Structure 1
C-alpha cells in the first residue's frame, strides 16, 4: 500500500516517529439477525409463574455473556472461522388476571452464529511477563498465532413473544447453560417440569472483528497533557442543579429531517 501523506495541523508539529504495539483489525462484518422462535428456559419459581399466568409480556432482553471461538479454515489460508455464542437474559411480566400487578419471571435463551473473516497469517508465540509475587516473575501463558475475534453488540430488540403448551412446542428446551449465566437467579440450574413454554423473536445487531497484535510506526506530536483543571466544587446541590441546562430534547423529540433516508437505503 502507498504511504498516506500526513497533513500537519498549523499549530502542531510532528516531533518524531514512534513504534507502538497495538491491535490491527484485519477484517470485520456487520450482522443484523432476526432470531425467530427462541425457546426460553426458566428455573424454579419463574417457570411456576409462567404456568399459572393468564398473560405474559416480555419486558426486556439483555446480553448476559458471549462466548467466542476462533478456528483456522483449512482450505483457505489466512481465513478463520469465528463461532459466536450469545446468551440472553429475559424478564417477563406475568399477569394472573387483567389489571393486576405483574410478577417478574426471569428466563434465559441462547443463539449461535458463525462467520469467516480474514485474519492474516502468523506463526509466533507471544510471551509476556507477569509479576506474581516478590520472589518470582512467572510468565503468562503464551498467545498463539491465531488472531482474536472481537464482538460488539447491543441488547436485542424484542419483536414477538408467544406462550404455547409444552407438548405442542416444536423447539427443544436448552438445559446446558453455563453456571456463570444462571448463578444470579437463585432458582437453581436445572429446569423444572413445565406445562407451558415461551417462544421469543429477537432482533440482534452486532459487529464482528478479526484483529491481531502488530507493531506500527505512527507520528508523535507531543505528550497528552490535560488542559482542563479537575472540578472540586463544594457548592450545594441546588446551586449545582441550577447550572444544568434544561433537557429540551427529552420533552420535544426532534422532527424527521428533510432528507429522504429511505431513498438512500433503497439504493444500497
Structure 2
C-alpha cells in the first residue's frame, strides 16, 4: 500500500468530505480609526522629572503601546448595541536637551481614553466552563450574562511632536488629567522608578498618532465544510552544528533593501489615504 496522501486545505478543487461544527469567536461588528492625540501629558519618573525641570528643549524619540484596557457596557434602550470604553497606556521615550551637547534619554507615561459604539447582538444564556487545574478540583468558571467581548488591535503610535511647558508661565493652564489610583500595578512596573505626581516645575506634552481596530466578538457554534484533518507536512527543523558561514549561505540576498521601489511602483495617487502608506500588491 502506498503512503496516504492528505489534501491541502488551500486547494479549491478538493472535494468536501462533509460538515463539522466548531466553537469559535465570531466578529459581530468592527471599526477602524486613526486618532491624533494632541498635547497628551507625559508623567515622568523622578529622575526624568529632575532633568526636565532643567531642560531647554525636548524631542520625542519613540512612543510604544504598553497596554489597552477595554470595557463593554450595554446601551440602554438600544438593544444589541454596546459602548466600548478603551484606556490606552503609552510608554514615551524623550530626548532631553540641557544645553549644547548630547541629549539625555528619559521615559514617561501617557494615556488616552477612547469610546466607540458597536453592535454585539443579544444573549441571555449563562455560560459555564470547566478548567482543569493540576492537583485540585475542576474549577467551574461562569459569567452572569452572555456579554460579548471587545478586542482591540493597535500598533505602536507615531510620535508627532513634543514640547516642554514651564508652570510659572502665565499662559500655562495645565491641569492633571489622570487618576494614578486607576493605574494598574503592571503598568507602573514597566518603569524603573516611581512616577512624579506633583511638585514639578516643568511638564512635557506630546502629540501622537494612533491607528486602532476595535471588534466585538461572541462565542458561537458554526457549521463549516471540511476537507480533512490538518496534518503537518513540514518536517521540524532542529538545531545543528553548522558553521556560522554555512548558516549565512542559507539566507536569501536582501534585494529590496538595496533597490527601493520606483516612483511608478509607488505612486502618490495609489496611497492608502487612511494610513498614508503605499498600497502594493
Instruction: Give the TM-score of the pair, scaled to structure 2.
Output: 0.85
| Gaps in structure 2 of 5+ consecutive residues | 1-9, 274-281
Instruction: Tell me the equivalent position of 2:146.
Output: 145
Instruction: Tell me the equivalent position of 1:240.
Output: 247
Whole-angstrom CA distance in 2 between matches of 1:135 and 1:203: 48
| Residue number among 213, 216, 230 corresponding to 1:224 in the alignment | 230
| Residue number among 230, 238, 254 corresponding to 2:261 in the alignment | 254
The number of equivalent residue pairs is 258
- Structure 1 position 164 matched with structure 2 position 165: yes
Whole-angstrom CA distance in 1 between matches of 2:207 and 2:123: 40
Instruction: Tell me the equivalent position of 1:117.
Output: 118
Higher mean C-alpha displacement, 91-100 vs 41-50:
91-100
Higher mean C-alpha displacement, 49-58 vs 219-228:
49-58
Instruction: Give the TM-score of the pair, scaled to structure 1.
Output: 0.89
> Which string of whole-angstrom CA distances, capped at 9 and with x for unpartnered residues, describes residues 89-108 of structure 1?
101112222232x3221111
Whole-angstrom CA distance in 1 between matches of 2:125 and 2:197: 45
Report SS of the residue matched to 1:40: strand
Whole-angstrom CA distance in 2 between matches of 1:135 and 1:113: 41
| Gaps in structure 1 of 5+ consecutive residues | 1-6
CA change 1:201–1:9 in 2 (3 A) is: same
> Which string of whole-angstrom CA distances, capped at 9 and with x for unpartnered residues, describes residues 159-188 of structure 1?
111111124443423351332212232312
User: How far apart are 1:208 and its partner, in Å?
Assistant: 0.4
Higher mean C-alpha displacement, 234-243 vs 109-118:
234-243
> Which string of whole-angstrom CA distances, capped at 9 and with x for unpartnered residues, describes residues 73-102 of structure 1?
1121100000011011101112222232x3
Report SS of the residue matched to 1:91: strand
Whole-angstrom CA distance in 2 between matches of 1:37 and 1:197: 11
- Correspondence list, 1:50-199, <5 A: 50-100=52-102, 102-142=103-143, 144-168=145-169, 169-173=172-176, 174-176=178-180, 177-199=183-205
Report SS of the residue matched to 2:143: coil
Whole-angstrom CA distance in 2 between matches of 1:97 and 1:69: 45
Higher mean C-alpha displacement, 257-266 vs 199-208:
257-266
